[in-house]
């Protein structure tokens, strides 16, 4: 319910802002404002995309590193066991 109220308040504020811009700057000012707003929205989406992309790359590198550590630890363990039981006494 709180989200709905916040959404309606934001819509009301946006409408009031548009009315103020239209009254003071006219339709050209409103179009300019909407263009700036769309530009900012695209910039925020691009920034979010880059953040998600960077996060995915970090997770990928960490998983490869972790897998390599497990692989080499297992290989070293096999070599150690082979060395223990393979050497004549």
Tell me the per-residue pLDDT of 18-40, one tens digit each, with 9 for 90 and over. 999 999 999 999 999 999 999 99
Residue 67 has pLDDT above 70, yes or no: yes
Query: Whose CA is closest to 20, among 33, 10, 7, 8?
Result: 33
pTM above 0.75, yes or no: no
Rounded mean pLDDT of the chain?
Answer: 94
Give the count of domains, the chain: 1
Residue 89 has pLDDT above 80, yes or no: no
Query: What was the pLDDT predicted at 86?
Result: 84
Asked if residues 22 and 30 have their Cβ atoms less than 8 Å apart, the reply is: yes
Domain span holding position 48 = 1-89
Question: Running DSSP on this structure, what letter comes out for residue 82?
Answer: H
Residue 87 has pLDDT above 80, yes or no: no
């Amino acid at each position: 319910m709180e989200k709905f109220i916040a959404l309606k308040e934001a819509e009301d504020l946006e409408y009031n802002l548009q009315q103020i811009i239209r009254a003071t700057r006219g339709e050209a000012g409103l179009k300019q404002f909407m263009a700036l707003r769309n530009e900012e929205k695209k910039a925020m989406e691009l920034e979010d995309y880059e953040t998600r992309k960077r996060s995915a790359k970090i997770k990928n590198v960490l998983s490869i590193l972790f897998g390599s550590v497990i692989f080499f630890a297992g290989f070293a363990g096999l070599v150690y066991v082979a060395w223990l039981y393979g050497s004549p006494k």
